[in-house]
Amino acid sequence: MTAQMKHELRILAIWLAAILILRFSLMLPHRDVEIVGILNAGLQLLLFIISVQIARHSDSQQRYVFVNFAIFFGFIVLLFAGAFIGYALFPGSSYASVIYHVYVNNVGLNFTLLFALVFLAVEYYWPHWKASRKYVITTTFCLAVIAAFYYPYLFDPLHGRDEPEYVALGKLTSEKGWPMRSWRRGTN
């Protein structure tokens, strides 16, 4: 067996172990998770493992690009953990799942994706710069963009409760008799 094949088998073993951990975690109380979400998490875990391996064995400046993509693909763990918020984690809190969704699924995921792509562009246009300078520029730009898009939610994660669309949805669900967990002010 060649060294290349041993390396590939190690990646496969790590990936299968991660998928088993993912599946066994679903034995805890959680919200409904569709099979597509589990498949997506499994594929992103594989991309995470591959990106980490490439970054570990790379000797060039491209190492930082793969580290950033590994962070982005590894973010699936936090996204998957959202299924347990309000059930296994913080079961007594009415707002835990909403706050987690705003900060992790919206702000965090978009920041990591934007960071990976902006860093790739900075790396492409200015390959001779030091990595620390690229990270400072990329972080500053990404924080500015995320702050511009999510400014109302950064300090008030329940900002959407007063939006007309949410109020209309609440009226629609109450008229149809559908259960809707309300997170409007004063209703919990």
Closest CA to 123 of 131, 111, 115: 131
* CA–CA gap between residue 59 and residue 29 (Å, rounded): 44
Bridge partners, residue 85, by sequence: 89
Residue 173: pLDDT band (50, 70, 90) is low
Residue 102: pLDDT band (50, 70, 90) is confident
pTM of the model: 0.81
Residue 147's pLDDT is 94
Res. 156: pLDDT tops 60: yes
Res. 172: pLDDT tops 50: yes
Res. 169: pLDDT tops 80: no
Mean pLDDT to the nearest integer, 142-149: 96
Residue 46 Cα distances to 42, 79, 102, 160, angstroms: 6, 15, 26, 35
Which pLDDT tens digit goes with each residue over 55-94?
999 887 789 999 999 999 999 999 999 999 888 888 888 7
Distance of CA 14 to the CA centre of its chain: 20
